[in-house]
Amino acid sequence: MATTAIINATIFDATGKAPFTGHVLIDGNTIVSVTQGDSPQADTVIDAAGKFLMPGMTEGHGHLSFENCAATEHLITPTPEEQVFAAARGAKALIDAGFTSVYGASEAKLRLGVAVRNEVNAGRLPGPRIRAGGLEISVTGGMGDESTDHNPRIGPSTLINGPEEMRAEVRRQIREGVDNIKLDVSGDPFYAWRAGTVGTPATCSPMHYDELKMAVDTAHNLGRKVNVHTRSVEGSKMSVRAGVDALFHVEHSDEELLDMLEEAKDRLFVVPTIDLFHQMVTGGAACAGITSEVATMMGVPPLIEASIETHTALRKRGVRHLIGGDYGFVWAQHGQQARDLVRFVDYYGYSPADALVCATRNGGHAMMGDGSLGTIEAGKLADMILVDSDVLADLSILSDTTRVVMVMKDGALHKSPAN
């Protein structure tokens, strides 16, 4: 096996240790040593003096096939043949930006994430490690159901009613190669009103516990993970009780939910997806017609307030957060996911170092489950990035792809430093 040494780097190993100057020796796809003092010999030596070495990041709620979306129409209308290119571009943008892993949420069509994952794993396309998401699973009248009786239309989700339909749909998606099942448990501000009805706002929970539990049992039985879209208190409680692996959004909470999440913190992850809303209320999404006034009409400001309260409390309780989520919109492109790091500091009170742990160590654990990924330590998988200056002094540089000067995944260089 060929060896590579990255020497004289400022190393942030994501174990909780303060950054230090040192050397990392890689053999094949594995880190064999992290040392200080004399630099090690290797077939390839990369001098990283003055540069910041950290584990590769994980996008914790990936939609690879979402590209320049402003409405669900942009997920539904394009053909799968065109969308597979969008998913491939998403995978490349992510690894170019230092995201060596994508923990999949859902895709615009069932097999887009699966197909790209397979091509990346075969070495035919550039991209991160991918746990592929499939189609969102919702219920009649829930998020993603865009039909009314007088105007039936295909939505971005597949709809089930009752546990038996859920069992069949989860089995079908797993048969098609999906790693991560995604359920729409609560409502959403994008579906708050429809056809003169009250619709399904963020505080309601259209999916029932028996459907949710069936999805978890069926997926776990086949070694797959289950992730939920949940903004409501009841939706989040049902999700924890049913044994899901990750909860996305989770704005609303009460004391009982916070206790439940803390108790389950070793078996689940929480992904706040905060930048989407941040952009909507600060004018970042105005290019897509979502001005801050429109965001207010959609009920976004109180969701941000609730998000701050809930996720600050979860940080204090040691619940493992992941960054990323809901990128691929016009105002939030793939490769910009590290913007979440700044939000984690500004909104949830994270230190820059602890925010980076969410992006790296927590993400690695969500991907592999066995602790083999996400830190720079001997014996761990060699997914690392080199950034041109001190990330802890300014987290925002990580959302600029050009500042990420080296990307290594599984011991192989995707992006080589210029030296």
Closer to Zn ion by Cβ: residue 10 or 230? 230
Of all residues in this chain, which one has the CB nearest to Zn ion in the complex?
Answer: 326
Closer to Zn ion by Cβ: residue 146 or 326? 326
Q: Does 105 participate in binding Zn ion (rule CB under 5 A)? A: yes
* Cβ at position 223, least distance to Zn ion in Å: 23
Residue count (the chain):
419
Closer to Zn ion by Cβ: residue 119 or 326? 326
* Cβ at position 84, least distance to Zn ion in Å: 19
Size of the site for Zn ion (CB under 5 A): 2
Q: Which tokens is 77 given?
A: 């209308």
Q: 55 phi and psi, to 5 degrees?
A: -65, 155
Compose the 279-318 pattern: x for residues touching Zn ion by CB under 5 A, - for all others. ----------------------------------------
Q: Does 211 participate in binding Zn ion (rule CB under 5 A)? A: no
Closer to Zn ion by Cβ: residue 87 or 105? 105
Q: Which residue has the tokens 């999949």?
A: 104
Give Cα 323 distance to the centre of its chain. Answer: 6
Sole window of 98-106, 156-164, 330-338, 352-360 interacting with Zn ion (rule: CB under 5 A): 98-106
Calculate the CA dihedral of residues 399, 28, 122, 181 and round it to 10 degrees. Answer: -60
DSSP code per residue over 48-116: -TT-EEEEPEEEEEE-TT--SBSSTHHHHSS-HHHHHHHHHHHHHHHHHTTEEEEEE-B-SSTTHHHHH
Q: Does 59 participate in binding Zn ion (rule CB under 5 A)? A: no
Q: Which of residues 168-187 bind Zn ion (CB under 5 A)?
A: none
Sole window of 161-169, 194-202, 295-303, 319-327 interacting with Zn ion (rule: CB under 5 A): 319-327
Sole window of 96-104, 128-136, 324-332, 381-389 interacting with Zn ion (rule: CB under 5 A): 324-332
Q: Which tokens is 156 given?
A: 């971005």
Sole window of 79-87, 99-107, 217-225, 363-371 interacting with Zn ion (rule: CB under 5 A): 99-107
Q: Is 382 helix (H, G, I), strand (E, B) or coil?
A: coil
Q: Does 326 participate in binding Zn ion (rule CB under 5 A)? A: yes
* Cβ at position 249, least distance to Zn ion in Å: 8
Q: Does 107 participate in binding Zn ion (rule CB under 5 A)? A: no
Contact 114, 134 (CB under 8 A): yes
What sign for the dihedral angle of Cα 161, 163, 165, 170?
positive
Q: Which residue has the tokens 């009752």?
A: 162
Q: Is 249 helix (H, G, I), strand (E, B) or coil?
A: strand
Residues of this chain that bind Zn ion (CB under 5 A): 105, 326
